[in-house]
Amino acid sequence: MRRLPLRARLALMTAVAVAVAVAAASTACWFLTKQQLMSQMDQTLRETMASPIHRILVNGQLTCESFTWDGVNNADPPEFPGRFPGMGPTRPLQTTQIVLTDGSGCAEPTGSPYPVSQAETDVARGLRNEVIRTTTAEDGTHVRVITRQAQRLLLPNGETQSFAISVARPLTEIDESLDNLALLLLAVSGIGVLGAATTGVLVARSALKPVDKFTDVVEHIARTEDLDLSLPVEGKDEITRLSRSFNAMTGALKASRERQTALIADAGHELRTPLTSLRTNTDLLLMSEEQGRPLPDADKQRLLRNVRAQLRELSGLVGNLLDLARPERARNAPARSVVAWHTVVEHAVERAKLRGQNVVFDVGLEPWHVSGDDQELERAVLNLLDNAVKFGPPDGTIEVRLHEGELTVRDHGPGIDPADAPHVFDRFWRSASARALPGSGLGLAIVARTVHESGGTVGLEPAEGGGTLARVRLPGTRTAPGEFTDHPGPPA
């Protein structure tokens, strides 16, 4: 089944479903018709038993023995059952039979006897009032039999005996009608299955048209890598949902590729400057040695310091690029470990002190625990501190506060232009006043990415009284999981 194409499977399942439904309906129709016909037959038999025709006078009418009617109810001798005027010796419409208590039966001469059941014997004994059943007569006729308790027979020796009377009607017409109905229903079912198979093919072809279009688009994208192509979104069915999801996926892939292309282009542009400076300084040193005209010691030391600074800048830029090239953490990814946010900030401040020798750090930290990666968070805080040191005065003060999960870093530099605030966290973006300063323009982009992955927010704004204020808000708690704020006293 799984090896068949989807279109063939859909058509086959449709045909099978319709075939089962038609078969079930036909079977139910046949059984309901049979039940209705048998119910009508039973009603006819009951009406026959209720008429005087069942009170037969057996003397001279039955060949098994000669009995005498006991005259109870003063009944008149009845007509012979089931015989119509002019029928002569032909078989009557129905056959009447007497059932005795010993299980024997005596049928009328013109009828075909049929076997006596135990239930009919119970009726003759007075244990049951009525029995209706289907059986086969001795001549092979399929008959429907009703048996009821009758009056008593007077035997030749003067004794009486209880008995029951059975009336049987042939089911030939009903059987023929049911056979014809079965053939008709079988033919209708066959036609229905063929129609269902044809309809299934048409339905499968129509239903899978959107899937064919979807397949064509996917194959085109796989062949050409053209992410601009999208699927039409119309309606509210499952295909529409799939098309909408596919368009969102291709849109995300396109945006990711554009970001990757922009990152490569920006990285190439940023790497070009330190590499060019390194090559120039290195060529100058080599040229002086090759021509036998060594540079003065002061100039040589200055060139070597420049090379070292450029190598540091290049190493930092490569590290930042590697960090940004790391796949972003999914929003529904499992939570990372719980870290002490105040401890992370404290370690970052200690590292920043080594970079700004004359800068004073005014630190005030309150305990706060967050979910994240301690190394990534420390790098983000260090980038904020480096940014504050770079734009603040050489001997200024950097204020660092952590209160209720909000970290603020303030410098006392020239401040930030409000027009530049929306762009400061973009990759490789640098304001006009910062292009002459060292840096790659990736530090704040790393800060924004780390904070967002930890579920927080970050922003820069002008500080009151001058300078720039950075705000980082991370969700968390004052106490780490498993800690208690209220400690019990010493035992008594």
Distance CA 469, CA 254 (A): 35
Distance CA 199, CA 261 (A): 51
- Give the model's pLDDT for residue 390: 82
427 in the same domain as 290? no
The answer for residues whose C-beta is within 8 angstroms of residue 311's C-beta and 6 or more apart is 278
- Give the model's pLDDT for residue 364: 93
Residue among 303, 83, 34 at smallest CA distance from 181? 34
Query: Residue 1: pLDDT band by 50, 70, 90 thresholds?
Result: low
Helices (H) and strands (E) in the chain, counts: 9, 16
Does the pLDDT at position 269 exceed 70? Answer: no
311 in the same domain as 363? no
467 in the same domain as 376? yes
Is 284 part of a structural domain of the chain?
yes
Is 233 part of a structural domain of the chain?
no
Residues making up the chain, counted from first to last: 492
Angle at 395 between CA 390 and CA 398, to 5 degrees: 60
417 in the same domain as 389? yes
Is 220 part of a structural domain of the chain?
no
Mean pLDDT over the full length of the chain: 75
Distance CA 126, CA 164 (A): 9
Determine which of 56-65, 342-351, 363-372, 379-388 has the lowest per-residue pLDDT on average: 56-65
- Give the model's pLDDT for residue 96: 82
Distance CA 438, CA 424 (A): 16
Taking the model in full, what pTM does it have?
Answer: 0.44
pLDDT tens digit sequence for 83-104: 334 333 444 577 888 888 888 8
Q: Which of 192, 207, 222 is the last residue of a domain?
A: 207
- Give the model's pLDDT for residue 57: 38
Is 180 part of a structural domain of the chain?
yes
For residue 173, the number of C-alpha atoms closer than 13 Å in the C-beta half-sphere is: 7
Angle at 44 between CA 39 and CA 46, to 5 degrees: 95
State the residue range of the domain holding 178. Answer: 1-81+92-207
Distance CA 57, CA 53 (A): 10
* Secondary structure of 407-449 as H, E, C letters: EEEECCCCCCCCCCHHHCCCCCCCCCCCCCCCCCCCHHHHHHH
Is 391 part of a structural domain of the chain?
yes
pLDDT tens digit sequence for 209-231: 777 777 888 888 888 887 777 77
105 in the same domain as 25? yes
User: Which has the higher per-residue pLDDT, 397 or 417?
Assistant: 397
252 in the same domain as 200? no
Q: Which of 301, 325, 349 is the last residue of a domain?
A: 325
Neighbours of 128 (CB within 10 A): 16
Does the pLDDT at position 68 exceed 50? Answer: no
Domain CATH for 258: 1.10.287.130
107 in the same domain as 146? yes
Give the mean pLDDT of 21-34: 90
357 in the same domain as 317? no
Is 216 part of a structural domain of the chain?
no
Q: Which of 302, 325, 348 is the last residue of a domain?
A: 325
User: Which has the higher per-residue pLDDT, 56 or 208?
Assistant: 208
- Give the model's pLDDT for residue 153: 58
Distance CA 159, CA 154 (A): 6
150 in the same domain as 63? yes
Does the pLDDT at position 321 exceed 70? Answer: no
Domain CATH for 405: 3.30.565.10
pLDDT tens digit sequence for 292-307: 787 788 888 888 887 8
Is 423 part of a structural domain of the chain?
yes
Does the pLDDT at position 400 exceed 90? Answer: yes
pLDDT tens digit sequence for 432-457: 454 445 555 667 777 888 888 888 99
Contact 456, 407 (CB under 8 A): no
The sign one gets for the Cα dihedral 469, 474, 475, 478 is: negative
- Give the model's pLDDT for residue 352: 84
Distance CA 421, CA 259 (A): 21
User: Which has the higher per-residue pLDDT, 54 or 133?
Assistant: 133
Phi, psi dihedrals of residue 104, rounded to the nearest 5°: -85, 160
- Give the model's pLDDT for residue 326: 63
In the chain, % of residues over pLDDT 90: 12
Is 228 part of a structural domain of the chain?
no
> For the chain, how many structural domains are there in total?
3
Residue among 440, 437, 388 at smallest CA distance from 414? 388
Give the mean pLDDT of 168-177: 89
454 in the same domain as 402? yes
285 in the same domain as 162? no
For residue 406, the number of C-alpha atoms closer than 13 Å in the C-beta half-sphere is: 8
Query: Residue 334: pLDDT band by 50, 70, 90 thresholds?
Result: very low
33 in the same domain as 170? yes
